[in-house]
Amino acid sequence: MPLDRIDKAILSSLQSDCSQTNLQLAQQVGLSPPACLKRVKRLKAQGYIQKEVALLVPEKFGPYLHMVVEVEMERDNKAMNQRFLQRALASPEVKQCYQVTGEVDFVLICMVPDMPSYEAFCDRVLYAEANLKKFRTLISLKREKFDTRINTG
């Protein structure tokens, strides 16, 4: 079922603040609370809403290093890539993982408290991969923008 203007408004509002009450959301999008709740339940059931989370401020928990890691594999082999993906996805340091086209095969967004932790991650995940050709690490000096919202159109 295609999304209408009100569905898109609901999704946009929830992306900004999913902790708002159904009454607040209904008022924002111009629906009665029961009609709004029914739409939210339908959007969840249809898979438009994957989960509701709280975004924390990492700096409140101590210093962290944000790394962008470009990974290049030796051979383009699906089974070997899947093995690497399983290891990367199971790693708590990996916050995002992309399989990409171009000069590299994967881009990992990692977060670690310090360099020894990053070295341990490299040993456990990257150097443990027999199909690894090389990887390049970019250390973020400052995160200028971080936005989880999707343009609902």
The pLDDT value recorded for residue 127 is 96
Q: Which of 8-12, 108-112, 143-147 has the lowest mean pLDDT?
A: 143-147
| Cα–Cα distance measured from residue 148 to residue 9, given in angstroms and rounded to the nearest whole number | 16
* Kind and range of the H or E run holding 72: strand 65-73
Tens of pLDDT, residues 64-102 = 999 999 999 999 888 889 999 999 999 999 999 999 999
Q: What is the pTM of this model?
A: 0.84
The answer, yes or no, to whether residue 2 has pLDDT greater than 90, is: no
The answer, yes or no, to whether residue 120 has pLDDT greater than 80, is: yes
Place of tokens 């809403």: 49
The pLDDT value recorded for residue 153 is 79
> What class has domain 5-45?
mainly alpha
Cβ contact 63:113 at 8 Å? yes
Domain with CATH 3.30.70.920 in the chain: 58-139
Cβ contact 147:12 at 8 Å? no
Domain with CATH 1.10.10.10 in the chain: 5-45
Query: In the CATH scheme, what architecture does the domain 58-139 have?
Result: 2-Layer Sandwich (3.30)
Per-residue confidence band for 152, with pLDDT thresholds at 50, 70 and 90: confident
The answer, yes or no, to whether residue 144 has pLDDT greater than 80, is: yes
Torsion of CA 24, 30, 33, 36, to 10 degrees: -100
